[in-house]
Amino acid sequence: MTPGETRAVTQGTTPGETRAVTQGTTPGETRVFTQGSTPGETRAVTQGTTPGETRAFTQGTTPGKTRAVTQGMAPGETRAVTQGMTPGERHEQLHRELHQERHEQLHREWHRERHEQLHRE
């Protein structure tokens, strides 16, 4: 750990216990880990990479489990990867993500062009 970092660990001892870890990596960055110990448990990790960016990981442990990853690339941008879906579900998910990314891109371009136009005026 470096100066300014903190680590907290909480662990239960009964069936169904959970463990939570929170660790700061740099100012404004945090990592959270939560894991259950019962069937069907899930694990969630959230880590900030820069201000406004986050990474989230969720995974189940039961048959048919799915994995979802969401990572912020810039403020307002996210990328999602889904595993354990049917080809049709995966296609719909990717289509939604592509549409959202394109919408956000066009929105940023419009704002930038509008800003430049107002600046020239």
| Residue pLDDT, tens place only, 15-27 | 444 443 434 444 4
- Phi, psi (deg, nearest 5) at residue 38: -95, 160
**Same domain, yes or no, for 7 and 56?**
yes
Most confident of 26-30, 71-75, 115-119: 115-119
**Same-domain check for residues 7 and 60:** yes
Does the reported pTM lie above 0.75?
no
Tens of pLDDT, residue by residue over 67-99, are: 444 444 444 444 444 455 666 776 777 777 777
pLDDT given at position 33? 43
Q: How many domains are contained in the chain?
A: 2
Residue 119 domain boundaries: 85-121
Residue 113 has pLDDT above 50, yes or no: yes
